[in-house]
Amino acid sequence: MCGIAGKLHRDPSRPVDEEVLRRMCRVMRHRGPDDEGVVVLGATGLGHRRLSIIDLSPAGHQPMRNDDGSLWLVFNGEIYNFPELRAELEAGGVRFRSRTDTEVILRLYERDGAACVRRLRGMFAFAIWDTRRRTLLLARDRLGVKPLYYRLSEDGLSFGSELKVLLEDDDVPREVDPIAIHHYLTYQCVPAPHCVFKGIAKLPPAHTLIWNDGRVTIDRYWNLPYGPKHAASSERELEEELRCRLEEAVRIRMVSDVPVGAFLSGGIDSSAVVAMMSRHSDRPVRTFSIGFEEDAYDELPAARRVAEHFGTEHTEFRVRLDAINILPQLVWHYDEPYADASSIPTWHVSRLAAEHVTVVLNGDAGDENFAGYDRYVANALAERFRLLAPLAASGVAQAALERLSNGHGATSPASRARRFAEQLARSPQERNLAWLSQFDRERKRALYSDGFRAAVNGVDSGRLVLDRFDEADAEDFLDRTLYADVMTYLPDTLLTKVDIASMAHGLEARSPFLDHEFMEFAARIPSRLKLRGTQTKRILKRALQGIVPAPILGRRKMGFNVPLESWLRNGLRDMAHDLLTSRRSLERGYFAPAFVRGLLDDHVQGRRNWHTQIWSLMMLELWHREFVDEGTAREPAPHAMAEPMGSYAS
């Protein structure tokens, strides 16, 4: 796992400044603390930071060249089928100089060109410079596990694993894009291909970009098909194949020349990964868990039960309010405004794991594969009710809204019922979007100042998700919802969260449920086997019977929630008020001051829970101060934080 950077000029007589490349690499040293490499080839320069995982020898140094120096590669990620690809290439007469997956990509490109990406099974972002053709290939993995930013201009192109890499180049301006802020306020992140700064973009998942003398071609090389459905003679056969495929996806992600562990939440997905790891490890698996002082958010007892069941070497950390002291570091590392508060525990569990291992496996994408979110259940129930009583739906919703208090916590039955009732009369697509959105269309109209409203010019952020429903290769609504989540929520929010939090500590995170071959198999499972009534992940739970402890399979999903609503009424109340009502914040001219103050007052007084909206505004203001007002490229010094609860061998 590494970080990559590069810059090229369209004018072949204009050399790249090596010092700029070194600054680009230096600012992402956390992604690759083991080695740095820079090469300047006239008007083109490539840079790399290395975190050594496979083949720790100097032979894995990057940028890597082919035998005659006509091709140069920088690569971030892991290719899990590289032994098979290597054997295939060796059978064709190719000779290798290293044991790395990096060299396999380079040799495969020599043979197949840009089509090489179709053969790769893994997570990756890479660049290949072809000196003979003066062509640059950029590629990003199918699901978007690894990030890749780029900037096109009349003078050429630059790219990097993180936005701050590009900002090290003085030629890159920092002009905030109001459309990106507009989208952020809906989704808690800036979704691809958008970027918070104008002129910069993210390469979308499953895409390649080819630059040749200023001409750019961007192509999609993969999509997730949801048909035709499996024609197995019995559900039991599908369960058995699911088990085998998951075990294989875990096994190939355990290959490493450095210590490997696992994040363990106590949920089904991470527990399944730990179960499979235990089958293929000759020593206790190292597991790492995060909890909270508030019982409603604490999964440590469940995680401890799984650790004891599989005899793991288990380490825990309890997040307290003082753990919020890492906010300056979070803002700096995430580069763009990012408001998923579960980044806080993810950051801490990554820091904890990095003290013991270099690679961790996790359960990401289990929900997107097998319909694990509560909103899938809620949408199915809402549609059934709407079809049975279309005339009464809106009236019932209004009555529920009048009766239900929203001041008892975001996960309380009252709050859930209120959110359900609010969306009852809408279409299924609109309901799903509403449950994903932090600021919906109506709240944005009230939040925005006249100037900011004019700047976004009626752009509908909802289309970013609604359009995915339209393009899905799926026959039923649940499959279309899963597809939309795989294409948007998963890469833009969840995978960004884990990549940044883990790589900030030089930790590589691997996700077996994100194996594209496994996902293709899961997508073709009939949706009725995933969601039945109120039972989510039905076929996954049945496949794991006898493997994962029954109490874990029967637990209600908690999610990686953070007690923000209570924090913002207590310990963080003054911080929120000071940030959002400060002269500096109000003078930005984005928002209506009275509406912002109303959010703060309503939340503190318990009239409504606006914690996610307030947190989004806070993170935006903190980001603005770091990247626009200060323009700094130095990581803030770490603050004091609570210590781990301790380790034990279960």
pLDDT tens, position by position, 201-223? 999 999 999 999 889 999 999 99
pLDDT tens, position by position, 232-244? 678 999 999 999 9
Decide if pLDDT at 352 tops 80: yes
Q: What is the mean pLDDT of residues 503-516?
A: 96
Q: What is the mean pLDDT of residues 55-71?
A: 84
- pLDDT of 52 reads 67
Tell me which DSSP letter residue 640 carries.
Answer: P
Give the confidence band of 286 by pLDDT, cuts at 50, 70, 90.
Answer: very high
The helix-helix angle for 463-471 and 477-487 (nearest 10°) equals 130
Residue 13, class by beta-carbon neighbours within 10 Å (0-12 exposed, 13-18 middle, 19+ buried)? exposed
- pLDDT of 391 reads 46
Whole-number Å distance between alpha carbons of 174 and 198: 7
Q: What is the mean pLDDT of residues 92-119?
A: 96
Instruction: Report the DSSP beta bridge partners of residue 291.
Output: 318
Give the confidence band of 643 by pLDDT, cuts at 50, 70, 90.
Answer: very low
Looking at every residue in the chain, the average pLDDT score rounds to 90
Contact between residue 75 and residue 108 where contact means Cβ atoms under 8 Å apart: no
Whole-number Å distance between alpha carbons of 1 and 102: 11
pLDDT tens, position by position, 511-529? 999 999 999 999 999 999 9
Decide if pLDDT at 387 tops 70: no
The helix-helix angle for 611-624 and 327-334 (nearest 10°) equals 70
- pLDDT of 388 reads 56
Active site residues: 2
Domain regions of the chain by residue span: 2-220, 235-371+487-553
Whole-number Å distance between alpha carbons of 421 and 294: 27
Whole-number Å distance between alpha carbons of 274 and 246: 11
Give the pair of three-digit tokens for residue 514.
């994100």
The backbone torsions φ and ψ at residue 35, rounded to the nearest 5 degrees and listed phi first, read: -165, 155
Contact between residue 415 and residue 374 where contact means Cβ atoms under 8 Å apart: no
Q: Give me the percent of the chain exceeding a pLDDT of 90.
A: 79
Greatest mean pLDDT among 58-62, 126-130, 439-443 lies in: 126-130
Decide if pLDDT at 106 tops 80: yes
Give the confidence band of 612 by pLDDT, cuts at 50, 70, 90.
Answer: very high
- pLDDT of 640 reads 37
Tell me which DSSP letter residue 118 carries.
Answer: G
- pLDDT of 294 reads 74
Q: What is the mean pLDDT of residues 77-98?
A: 96
Decide if pLDDT at 407 tops 50: no
Right CATH number for 235-371+487-553 from 1.20.1600.10, 3.40.50.300, 3.40.50.620, 3.90.79.10? 3.40.50.620
CA dihedral 61→63→66→68, nearest 10 degrees, is: -110
- pLDDT of 647 reads 41
Superfamily of domain 2-220: Aminohydrolase, N-terminal nucleophile (Ntn) domain (3.60.20.10)
- pLDDT of 293 reads 78
